Amino acid sequence: MSDREIRQLKKKAEDLSMLIEISTIINSVLDLNEVIRLVLEKTQEVMHAEASSVFLLNPATNRLEVQSALGEKDDSIVDTTDELKEKISVEIGQGIAGWVAQHRQPLNVPDAPSDPRFFQKGDKLTGFRTRSILAAPLKVREKLIGVAEVINRKDLSPFDESDIGLFSTFCSSVAMAIENARLYKESLEKERFQQQLKSAQTIQQSFLPKSQLLCPKHRFEIFAAYQPAKTIGGDFYDFLILDNKHVGIAFGDVSGKGIPAALYMARLLSDFHLYANVSTSVNQAVDKLNDALVERSHQGMFVTFVGTILNADTGEFVFVNAGHLPLLRIRNKGKQVEKIARASNIPLGIKKSIEYQKSSIQLEHGDYIIFFTDGIIEARDTQKREMSLERFIRFLHKKWQSPEQLITQAKKEIDKFTESAEQHDDITLVALKWC
């Protein structure tokens, strides 16, 4: 064996040893930015290159975006703000990196400026002068996640066949390290989001009153149930003791779900408490609430809403229905269940300066008023059949001992109907009885 062959063999052994060591280091890091920084540093070290860069595939745009680039000029990572990423990004098939991504194989370009595939915009933006490029795909289980490049050998010679093999092997380890770091980052973000949801759920539930409200003089009873489909829902209810004979109920459904709906609901209930206590009528309070919601309208959100006031002495029940489902009345005499006619009002938060119309009915002792959201009548069984308003009304058509008994049995009826089917919408019920 000649001295040249011995030197080549020794170099391969050193490169392989370095490759194993570096791969171990890279794969032990889980922070994505740190992984990419290490990749750039170690890539240049392994390949004896002047500069290196990593492009990652953005699935949303199907473009390769430069994440970081490292050169010898000042040994610092090139700024990779969103603006720069947009400038140094290429389509699949465009430039050297785009060609590698399209064909999913390494490419050695000894004279980059003369190659028609060379993307010169990168040099113009960074001030770097590219002579030669070696690029390889970053793949995880045949899935393309990006492209890595090394630029300009330090000895001024072009990259050769042995460099291609070494770099391709190194990129297999790099791809796995980047993918692991990305998955870890996604896991942390998901966990952080779940924590935020739990915090928002706690805040939301703090705005909902206790499920039961009893009149000290036994003139009325109210009971409620709330079961969100997700961690945070858009349904809400609230009770307001206005004076020694008037009690109010706010009930509704905010468009959308999640944190925005929870925050919207919380502010809405706070405002309604304010306006209900300073207004002369329920429709005046709803008018003010609507104007406030329109003024701070966010992302087209609105709310279907029912605001009511019961005179606990006389049984007069006054209500405003703003685009919500009809209320149901269970008559004590004859045990009839009927829909309460409603004035035609649009949901809150859509248009300002609306004069909402109120309606009123006279309750009889023992009558019930039922508030409900569409999560009940649209609850589905395993065959995708809906519970329907008619079925719900048939269920209510009986003698009830108390609002709590009614609500408890209603929940059991819904669970029995849906069986093991997934709940797809919030379920909220309120039963008011005038004693």
Spans of all domains in the chain: 3-183, 207-434
Confidence grade of residue 307 (pLDDT, cut at 50, 70, 90): very high
Question: Could you tell me how far CA 316 lies from the centroid of its own chain?
Answer: 44
- pLDDT at position 78, please? 44
Q: The tokens of 24 are what?
A: 């171990």
Report the alpha-carbon distance of residue 354 to residue 340 in Å, rounded: 22
Q: What is the mean pLDDT of residues 8-31?
A: 63
- pLDDT at position 182, please? 83
pLDDT at 87 over 60: no
pLDDT at 239 over 50: yes
Contact 164, 124 (CB under 8 A): no
Give strand pairing partners of 149: 53, 135
pLDDT at 415 over 50: yes
- pLDDT at position 14, please? 61
Q: What is the mean pLDDT of residues 199-214?
A: 75
Q: Which of 426, 431, 385, 424 is nearest to 404 (CA)?
A: 431
- pLDDT at position 22, please? 61
Helix 389-396 and helix 403-418: axis angle, to 10°? 140
Contact 435, 401 (CB under 8 A): no
Give strand pairing partners of 358: none
Q: Which of 400, 414, 426 is nearest to 223 (CA)?
A: 400
Q: Which of 202, 212, 213, 289 is nearest to 254 (CA)?
A: 289
Question: Which of 57-61, 208-212, 235-239, 325-329 is predicted least confidently?
Answer: 208-212
Give strand pairing partners of 235: 253
Q: What is the mean pLDDT of residues 77-102?
A: 70
* Residues of the chain above pLDDT 70, percent: 83
CATH topology assigned to domain 3-183: Beta-Lactamase (3.30.450)
Q: Please give, one letter per residue, the 3-state secondary structure of the chain.
A: CCHHHHHHHHHHHHHHHHHHHHHHHHHCCCCHHHHHHHHHHHHHHHHCEEEEEEEEEECCCCEEEEEEEEECCCCCECCCCHHHHHHCEEECCCHHHHHHHHHCCCEEECCHHHCCCCCCHHHHHHCCCCCCEEEEEEEECCEEEEEEEEEEECCCCCCCHHHHHHHHHHHHHHHHHHHHHHHHHHHHHHHHHHHHHHHHHHHHHHHCCCCEEECCCCCEEEEEEEECCCCCCCEEEEEEECCCCEEEEEEEEECCCHHHHHHHHHHHHHHHHHHHHHCCCHHHHHHHHHHHHHHCCCCCCCEEEEEEEEECCCCEEEEEEECCCCCEEECCCCCCEEECCCCCCCCECCCCCCCCCCEEEECCCCCEEEEECHHHHCCECCCCCECCHHHHHHHHCCCCCCHHHHHHHHHHHHHHHHCCCCCCCCEEEEEEEEC
Q: The tokens of 417 are what?
A: 């109907």
- pLDDT at position 136, please? 94
pLDDT at 82 over 60: no
**Cα torsion at 114, 118, 119, 125 (round to 10°)?**
-60
Q: The tokens of 47 are what?
A: 């390949």
Confidence grade of residue 83 (pLDDT, cut at 50, 70, 90): very low
Report the alpha-carbon distance of residue 236 to residue 224 in Å, rounded: 10
Contact 114, 132 (CB under 8 A): no
Report the alpha-carbon distance of residue 146 to residue 140 in Å, rounded: 10
- The one-letter code for the residue type at 297 is S
CATH topology assigned to domain 207-434: Phosphatase 2c; domain 1 (3.60.40)
How many CB atoms sit inside 10 A of residue 293's CB?
Answer: 23
Q: What is the mean pLDDT of residues 368-373?
A: 95
Report the alpha-carbon distance of residue 285 to residue 21 in Å, rounded: 71
